[in-house]
């Protein structure tokens, strides 16, 4: 099995996720970037792609992370095989 793909800048991809335990389904993420987020049937946001390698997608996700009213958006750097994931800077 191969390791994670690299971003356009040559680094490991960022992994996008939602902490459903704090998401209230406000929809800010979906309104800003419906290509990355949607509010699901359970009433909280879900991501359409978990692995981000394109700089435009990373920038979009970072923008949403900065304005999410419950801070439910998570970006972590994909770890090399066998290592735990690290929070993205």
Phi, psi of 2 (to 5 degrees): -85, 160
In a domain, 54, yes or no: yes
CATH code, domain carrying 27: 3.30.70.20
Q: State the pTM of this model.
A: 0.77
Domain that holds residue 56: 21-77
In a domain, 45, yes or no: yes
Q: What pLDDT is stored for residue 10 in this prediction?
A: 57
In a domain, 28, yes or no: yes
Mean pLDDT for the chain overall: 85
Please, what's the b/e burial string for 34-63 (b: 16 or more CB within 10 A of its CB; e: otherwise)?
eebbebeeeebbbbeeeebbeeebbebbee
In a domain, 13, yes or no: no
In a domain, 64, yes or no: yes
86 pLDDT above the threshold of 90: no
- In the predicted model, what is the mean pLDDT of residues 6-16? 73
CA distances from 68 to 2, 7, 11, 39, 85 (A): 33, 24, 25, 13, 22
């Amino acid at each position: 099995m191969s390791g994670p793909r690299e971003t356009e800048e040559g680094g490991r991809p960022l992994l996008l996720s939602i902490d459903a335990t704090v998401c209230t389904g406000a929809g800010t993420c979906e309104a800003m970037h419906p290509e990355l987020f949607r509010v699901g049937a359970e009433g909280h946001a879900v991501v359409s792609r978990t692995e981000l390698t394109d700089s435009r997608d990373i920038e979009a996700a970072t923008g949403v992370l900065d304005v999410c009213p419950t801070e439910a958006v998570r970006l972590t750097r994909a770890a090399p095989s066998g290592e735990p994931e690290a929070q993205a800077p």
